[in-house]
């Protein structure tokens, strides 16, 4: 079962044009799971638009699970796996 964050990321990946046009309005908390899912799913247009919108992408302090496809929520539950 998907949670609301997973559904939002999945929807944005399906609607590429919507995702790109909405980037400036997305909450910052949505950027890490969206970036991760777009990277894993090879959504190049979304990634390119995110690089243009972000001045600096600082990944020095991300948790260890960031690149394995699982972003953890506050309760420690995986929130991004299965989004792509």
Q: Is 37 part of any domain?
A: yes
Report pLDDT digits (tens) over 18-58: 899 988 888 888 888 998 999 999 999 999 998 787 766 66
CB 59 within 8 A of CB 50: no
Q: Is 78 part of any domain?
A: no
Q: Is 74 part of any domain?
A: no
Does residue 10 have a pLDDT over 80?
Answer: yes
Minimal CA–CA distance to 70: which of 40, 27, 28? 40
Domain count, the chain: 1
The residue segments making up the domain with residue 20 are 4-57
pLDDT at 1: 54
Q: What is the mean pLDDT of the chain?
A: 76
């Amino acid at each position: 079962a998907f949670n609301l964050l997973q559904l939002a990321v999945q929807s944005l990946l399906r609607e590429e044009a919507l995702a790109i046009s909405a980037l400036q309005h997305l909450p910052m908390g949505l950027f890490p799971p969206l970036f991760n899912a777009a990277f894993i799913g090879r959504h190049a247009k979304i990634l390119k638009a995110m690089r243009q919108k972000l001045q600096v992408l600082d990944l020095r302090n991300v948790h260890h699970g960031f690149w394995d496809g699982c972003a953890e929520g506050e309760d420690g539950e995986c929130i991004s796996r299965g989004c792509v």
